[in-house]
Amino acid sequence: MPRLPLLLSIPHGGAMLPREYAPRFALTAAELFHESDPWTREIFAMGEAVQGRIEAEVAKAVVDLNCETTLVPPKVDSGAIKRFTAFGRPIWTEDGFPTSEEMDRLLDRYHRPYHDVLHRTSNRGGVRLAIDCHSIYAYGPPGAPDAEQARPLFVLGNLGDEKGEGARATAPAGLLHLLGELLEKEFQDIEPLPGTVKVAVNAPVVSNYTLRRHGKGRTPWLQLSMNRCVYLKNPADVTQVPDSDREGISQLRRRLFSVMCDLSDRLEDFLQ
């Protein structure tokens, strides 16, 4: 079977702490788990079946690869380098926050190389669509525009409006709607959380640095964010690390791969 013409980017699935910074890291194992996009590396593990798959090993709490490198403390508290988690917990010990020189080194070591590889890979001839893969909290965390509100099962993004249209769009609106239809069909057995929908487009707005940086090149880009309620039994409990459900993750990967196959079969209808 030929590889699907897709590039998958998984920037938030890592949990690695650089050894020299570990003594200054303040998060518990559970806080680190939930501050990442847990198990997305395993869920989107389609490396041999797609043209490209790039994943981060470094924890999002250490370096957020989906934020602009200029957005770091003291300019902002939650950017490419963060002081606090989405739930307001300090990431670093009281005197352990990286200096400006250390922040530069972290960005040079992890952020810039990741996007250099994304740029090169997305311009390969066999790549026709790039997808930035994420998970999202089941409910908006404190401080978010949708704090405590239920979120859709899937959120698709292309920097356009809620129809996927607009001058800033990084992928055709019709392509987003096709992907939404395929997800709704494949996951028709899973009910959305009360008060929300199965698939939404560009709402709620989530981090989109990758789309802004790479989405105006030769390859269209879109963001696929999956609600953690799809694969975590109790997604609202952020105080524990849940047991790994290998069979459930494997089944979810197979279902998403089926969606990717159907999407790839019709890509050229939208990319002429």
Nearest to 110 by CA among 155, 158, 63: 63
Write out pLDDT tens, residues 126-171: 999 999 999 999 999 988 889 999 999 999 999 999 999 999 999 9
Tell whether the model's pLDDT for residue 204 goes beyond 90: no
Q: In 82-95, which positions are buried (b, 16+ CB within 10 angstroms) versus exposed (e)?
A: bbebbeebebbeee
Predicted TM-score of the model (pTM): 0.96
Residue 141 tokens read as 């965390």
pLDDT at 145: 86
3-class secondary structure, 133: strand
Nearest to 73 by CA among 41, 101, 100: 100
Distance of CA 182 to the CA centre of its chain: 19
Strand positions, DSSP E, the chain: 4-10, 50-55, 129-136, 154-157, 199-201, 221-227
